[in-house]
Amino acid sequence: MKARTAFAAVLVGVLAWLSFLVVRPFLTYVLGAMLLAFVLRPAQRRLAPEIGSRLSALTLVTLTVVLFVGPVGLFLRVALADVGELPTSVSELPTYQSVERIVERVIGVQIGGRFDQLFGSFTSALAERSSGLASAGVHFTLGLLLLLFLLYYLLKDGDTLVRWAKNVTPLPRAVQDDLYAEAEEATWAVLKGHVFVASIQGFVSGLGLFALGVPNAAFWTVVMMFLAMVPIVGVAPVLGGATIYLAVNGRVLGAVLLVIYGMTVVAVTDDYLRALVIDKESSLHSGVILLGVFGAAYFLGAIGIFVGPIILALFKETVEVFTDYYDLG
């Protein structure tokens, strides 16, 4: 009997590893679908009794495409529209000529030729990687389609999947119920305190750019919504760059106002919203969030910014549940 058990364990382990290898190329999109399904699950449970599980899932997937893919497409359109306006040489960069004259006058070194050479090498390297960019585009398209299909089936059959997971998990039902409840609470806490607050902070920061007439304010607002999810970094790089832009273009008063706005309204937004939307008992320490964001982003890519803190929060809650039910000492 022990030999059979060992064989079964080895077989399951091998198949689990092979399954991971199959999923790994699209792991980012799988995790994204799971996260979206978790967020949309309450809406699915409300709509399914009224219009059916299939139609409600399809409706929510369609709304997801409209609300997320549409703005992302607009974001890419704005970004790509500016590509044609990018300088083809260093000498075309804004304020470059004045900087070049200052350097030559102060230290007597001509930097124009060297920077032009470096700039040319950089653009040549980008051209050589065009085939890699095309391959990445195909992978992104396939991954996006996979995400939408998985999202549909996770919404339609999510309850069935959860019941199956509970049946095959070798833990008492009471322990499993607590684990699922704590996992749901921890996930919502991270989503509200990490994603929602960051989005609001990026939006508030963008209002300052709009008010002061910074070019492509909508583009930079979206950028700040993502940067605000990264601890330590935050919206400071964009606001700092906008401040320098205003100062270089002679708008000193606007630069000063943007600094004041960032140090008051933007800074207060983060602390106030976190205290408002997060239960302090379920929130993660800032250091844990930092580790989750950086570590998962390195391992999983962009989706790690969202998933990393959730994984660590689930680990924390799992340890606490096991500590309550079992003597781990």
Q: Model confidence over 295-316: pLDDT tens digits?
A: 887 887 778 877 888 888 888 8
DSSP letters, 95-158, are THHHHHHHHHHHH----HHHHHHHHHHHHHHHHHTHHHHHHHHHHHHHHHHHHHHHHHHHHHHH
pLDDT tens, residue by residue, 87-135: 444 444 444 444 455 445 545 445 455 555 555 565 565 555 666 667 7
* pLDDT beneath 70, residues of the chain: 1, 69-133, 231, 271, 274-286, 327-329
DSSP secondary structure of 64-101: HIIIIIHHHHHHHHHHHHTGGGS-SSGGGSTTHHHHHH
Please say whether the beta carbons of 217 and 211 come within 8 A: no
Q: What is the pLDDT of residue 218?
A: 82
Provide the token pair at 107.
């230290």
- CA pair distance 199, 208, nearest whole angstrom: 15
Tokens 């409300």 locate to 46
Q: Is the pTM of this model over 0.75?
A: no
Amino acid sitting at position 19? S
